[in-house]
Amino acid sequence: MGIMDVTTVDQFNDVTSSSKLTVVHFWAPWSQPSVDMNNVLETLNPEYPDVQFVKVQAEELPDISMRCEVSAVPTFVFFRVKKAVDRLGGANVPEFTKRLKQLAAVDATPEPLKAAAPVSAEALNEKLKGLIESASVMLFMKGDPQTPRCGFSRQIVALLNENKVTFSTFDILTDDQVRQGLKKYSDWPTFPQLYIKGELAGGLDIAKELVANGELKEMVA
């Protein structure tokens, strides 16, 4: 099941009545972070067959946006049987993924923890490509910008912030398939890994060089 575009109040009321976890993305086409997060939803959708992913253009359905207390885009509201069970504002991929996993797990039948099911190389590469292209500047790091889990990740986050670069991140410690797959996908064995417009720029040392010679600002423009 793909991402559903909700365009009427009745349609919204119907989809949020489901006993399934329903993730509603309030977005706007003029907001690049919103567009980027739509790409993230498309990437995550196949991994959560029991979750409904829904898109609502916030300005097209103002009554719904007001009811859900949406004051900015992107905003995510998680529903189950008409009740909002969680909400998240902003294009924070690691936090969104964390919330989604936690809420989806409530619906899952408890069973012993198992390793992630193996996927084909082709499927994994498609997943990696989707994540890489989910934002114009994408950083694969250990931890997240607020709580980096290694010194190199902390340094590259500080470097990007100091140079006023808008970027999204993915915590490789939350998904070992992504962590191991990226090493082969880009032939780059270490982390963090910085991607700009879908292409690998490099790690911390390369990022420092790009800043020093003035190339970074040109690349992200």
Dump pLDDT digits (tens) for 198-213. 999 999 999 999 999 9
Q: How confident is the model at residue 116 (pLDDT cuts 50, 70, 90)?
A: low
pLDDT at position 195: 96
Please give the domain boundaries of the chain with CATH numbers for all domains. Answer: 4-107 (3.40.30.10), 121-220 (3.40.30.10)
Strands 21-27 and 75-80: antiparallel
Dump pLDDT digits (tens) for 147-194. 888 889 999 999 999 999 999 999 998 888 899 999 999 999 889 999
Statement: residue 127 has pLDDT above 80: yes
Q: Which of 36-40, 107-111, 171-175, 186-190 has the lowest mean pLDDT?
A: 107-111
pLDDT at position 117: 60
Measured N-to-C along each axis, helices 32-44 and 93-107 cross at an angle, to the nearest 10 degrees, of: 40
The predicted model scores a pTM of 0.52
CA torsion angle for 27, 156, 139, 78 (degrees, to 10)?
A: -40
Q: Where are the extended beta strands (E) located within 70-152? A: 75-80, 83-89, 137-141
- What does the pLDDT average to over 123-127? 90
Rounded to 5 degrees, what are φ and ψ at 43? -70, -40
Dump pLDDT digits (tens) for 45-102. 888 888 999 999 999 999 999 999 898 999 999 999 889 999 999 998 988 998 898 8
Dump pLDDT digits (tens) for 1-24. 568 999 999 999 999 998 889 999
**119-138 as b/e, with b when 16 or more CB fall inside 10 Å?**
eeeeebeebbebbbbbbbbb
Q: How confident is the model at residue 111 (pLDDT cuts 50, 70, 90)?
A: very low
- What does the pLDDT average to over 109-125? 64
pLDDT at position 50: 87
